[in-house]
Amino acid sequence: VISDPDLTVSSATTPTPTATWGQKVTISWTVRNAGTGAATRTWYDRVYLSQDAALNSDTDILVLSVNAGEFIPLSPDATDPAKGQYTILKEVTLPSGISGPGYFIIVTDATGGQTESHETNNTLAQAVNFSAADLEVTATNTPPLSASWGEQIPLYWKVTNTGSGATSTSWWDMVFLSD
């Protein structure tokens, strides 16, 4: 009989229902060895941001990668499942790139370094709504049709955040003159 480990993300805590670009958030997840053998090779857990619940490492945004080597060997324990699992708690700053409905996808054995009895159950997706600021010039005055070099002219504009999230940093407004 061959005994293989089976790493699964059994639970996770992510910001819900909304997360914002630039926001510092705490993410935690628990990985369990649901197999019949010990996990003895190094593996990595990763957290991605995605627009759908299916992991695509080419398009999803990697926000965190953790070497889970400190948990080796992770033995299964049918009599006490708490002994065959670990929990990781990390704080991350959310990058820009996604707005609207999306997902946090937590992946264990993300690089395939650990041979397992089931290689298709290593992810857990949790829904979230990503909000983002969207700054727009919503009002201006009409500047004079002509002016001389060195002459001051009145300029007025109003910037409004029409997005679903707050601004997380300051910004510069610029005015360009053209003919």
Tokens of 112: 């395939």
Residue 141 has pLDDT above 90, yes or no: yes
Predicted structure pTM score = 0.81
pLDDT for 27 equals 96
Report the C-alpha gap between 136 and 160 in whole angstroms.
5
Report the C-alpha gap between 175 and 160 in whole angstroms.
16
pLDDT for 39 equals 94
pLDDT digits (tens, 9 = 90+) for 97-136: 778 899 999 999 999 999 999 999 999 999 999 888 889 9
Residue 96 has pLDDT above 90, yes or no: no
User: Residue 22 — pLDDT band, cuts 50, 70, 90?
Assistant: confident
Q: Please provide the average confidence, as pLDDT, over all residues in the chain.
A: 91
User: Residue 82 — pLDDT band, cuts 50, 70, 90?
Assistant: confident
Residue 95 has pLDDT above 90, yes or no: no
Long-range contacts of 63-70 (CB under 8 A, 24+ apart): 63/92, 63/94, 63/95, 64/27, 64/90, 64/92, 65/110, 66/90, 67/42, 68/31, 68/42, 68/43, 68/44, 68/108, 69/42, 69/43
Instruction: Select from 81, 82, 85 the least CA-distant residue to 71.
Output: 85
pLDDT digits (tens, 9 = 90+) for 29-73: 999 999 999 999 999 999 999 999 999 999 999 999 999 999 999
